[in-house]
Amino acid sequence: MPTSLIPPPADDETECGNCGSYIYHGLLKCPNCGVYLDEPNETEDKSPKFRPKSKFSLAVESVLRKIRGEPDYAEELFTGALREKALFDDLLRKVGGDRSVVERLIEHERKQRPNATRLTCLQNAISRWENENR
């Protein structure tokens, strides 16, 4: 009777010494934990390493962006998601807090326009709700 639920490695597999996952013999790096199975090549050590910016340089960059009137990086990345959340919350308020109704309204709009984004579907669902519930 086996003592372990995990099967032993196949003939073309070996066990990673760092994380214990089974990996193929030909790999240089473990796909699970990223540890090199052999010593890395000399050429890889010569590549420049990423250095994060200091807190001071980030603060200066933030002040310069504000002076120029440019949005913050987070605003650029998450503006669409924040707008989508605001519209979802608005529609949720309109339907009395029932999330399943909101999702059905969004799905109805998606069936009307299959290539539309979720943001567009939310906008259309709100417009349709307002027109039908005057």
Model pLDDT for residues 43-78, shown as the tens digit of each residue: 555 556 777 788 888 888 888 988 988 877 777 778
What is the overall mean pLDDT for the chain? 80
The stretch 90-117 carries a mean pLDDT of 92
pLDDT of residue 45: 53
- Class of residue 28 by CB neighbours under 10 A (exposed 0-12, middle 13-18, buried 19+): exposed
**Which helix (H) or strand (E) covers residue 31, if one does?**
none
- Alpha-carbon distance 32 to 19, whole Å? 8
103 with 97: CB under 8 angstroms?
Answer: no
- Alpha-carbon distance 113 to 97, whole Å? 25
Report yes or no on whether pTM surpasses 0.85.
Answer: no
